[in-house]
Chains A and B, each alone.
Chain A
Amino acid sequence: MKKDEVPQDGDNLHEGTFKQIMYAVDNSGSYVQVQSAGWEPENIALSQAWDEVNEKVAAAKVLVQSGEISPVAYYMEKCLMDLALLANYVGKFQWQVKRHMKPAVFRRLSDTMLQRYADAFKISKEDLLHIK
């Protein structure tokens, strides 16, 4: 890649917050560091990954509101976690966390357990009980 080919495709996800370093060849054929504002394929792949996350979060929200799953499942998606990671954070087995995703079981959780989930998601207990 030549120095003047270093991509400068800024986008919304970057929000212009920072630039990355790339190595490219200058006119004399020597490698130099050049800053890049972003690149189209990377932007596409990144926004695709976020679309996927957002879709999952929205789907989980609907299920919570219709009473089919508990907020645990919703916040898990929202915090980009999977079952294994969440179980690790709250110190439970995966099957236990899965059980906590049932609204009936969730309602009976102790305050301590609710607090552990709230901590794992970095939210208040209030937010855990009532999703926005």
Chain B
Amino acid sequence: MNNHQFRHRQTAHCESGVISNLLGHYGLQISEPMAFGIGAGLFFGHLPFVKVNGVPGTTYRIWPGAIFQRVCKRLGVKMELAKFSTPEKGMAALDKVIDTGTPVGLLSSVYYLPYFPPSYRFHFNAHNLVVYGKREGQYLVSDPVMDTVTEIDPVSLAQARFAKGFPAPKGKMYYPVHVPDKASFEKPIKEGIEQTCHYMLKIPFPMFGVKGIRFLAKRVKDYPEKAGERKAGLYLGNVIRMQEEIGTGGAGFRFVYAAFLQEAATLLNKQELSLLAGELTKVGDLWRNFAFSAGRVCKSRSADNVSYRELSEMLLQCAAAEETFFRKLAQVRF
């Protein structure tokens, strides 16, 4: 569709970052927070039954791929999407598309991406990146969480794209085939906000949304007794890791969403949203305080019940603040 060089911009999160960079390439300028907001990326869930390496899972965002689908649908972008049965087919298809000068989004496993520092390479299979060309046998990569563009050898890329485990990326690749020249953000913003409020306030299960934060709070309080000292530390560590690490970021997501509300306020000329952005910033700071204290507890390895009870209290505060915030946000009339 056009031939100019792909422009890499570093972002906080891989999925919203890839959307922002890919659509920007086709002239549809959308910031990362705007993509995150329209895609209703903010969420909370705590799933004690879904264990990764024996540790209960916590998420601060919507499941992988959801932001993408929603943004494309709401903005009228058409994506070509493909999965493959073998690495050979997948790599051949990728070569064919980038030969035409089209940047391609790829789903991959962080474990096999050599440009990440070794300490970050866990088996996380839902990382998004863009390959925008090939030079001397190396693929040119724009990974939105890295400061600069980088390169990757074909063997590593094939391994990353065809990693096993859950969810298996199966070489998933995607690229826009139709991007509207001009899209109105008004309706998509409204729909995104409504959806986020719904997910945070109205899911009838205790593990999700604001209820989910309270659910986690209750669990954290009992960690030292129920899981034992050692496991309590690991469980807590994972709550922080899911909150702060690469491509995730819990408090971080609150700030991204606040940035979205601020941008939306200007765009729709609605002062209300800007005030709410300020409020969400404060909620994000509460999450930061929680992570900070939780980190200290992990480090001291003291599994005394007092500290875990205090952390539980902090989570309850986060829950209360988020509930107030989302109730107000749900009241905004467009």
Closest Cβ of chain A to B300, distance in Å, is 10
**Do residues A45 and B298 form an inter-chain contact, with CB atoms below 8 A?**
yes
A82 vs B165: C-alpha distance in the bound complex, in angstroms? 10
Given A23-B12, A49-B237, do A41 and B291 touch, yes or no (CB 8 Å)? yes
A25 to B278: give the CA distance in the assembly, Å.
Answer: 9
Tier of interface size on chain B: 35 or more
A39 at the interface (CB under 8 A from B): yes
- Residues of chain A in range 82-112 having any CB-CB distance to chain B below 8 Å: 82, 84-85, 88-89
Interface size on A, residues (CB 8 A): 36
A18 and B117 contact, CB distance less than 8 A: yes
Q: Do A88 and B165 contact each other (CB < 8 Å), given the known contacts A1-B281, A22-B12?
A: yes
* Interface assignment of B245: CB less than 8 Å from any CB of chain A: yes
Contact between A44 and B123, CB atoms less than 8 A apart: no
> Which of A29-37, A57-65, A66-74 binds B?
A29-37
A49–B241 touching, CB < 8 Å: yes
Give the residue name and chain of the B residue nearest to A25 (CB).
Answer: B281
- Closest A residue to B258 by CB, please name it: A31
Report if A27 contacts B (CB, 8 A). Answer: no
Q: Can you spell out 15 A-B residue pairs with CB atoms less than 8 angstroms apart? A: A1-B255, A22-B249, A23-B252, A30-B262, A31-B255, A33-B12, A40-B295, A42-B245, A42-B295, A48-B233, A50-B119, A80-B111, A80-B123, A84-B165, A88-B164
Additional A-B contact list (8), CB under 8 Å, known A20-B145, A23-B258, A41-B294: A13-B119, A23-B256, A33-B12, A45-B241, A45-B295, A48-B234, A80-B111, A88-B164
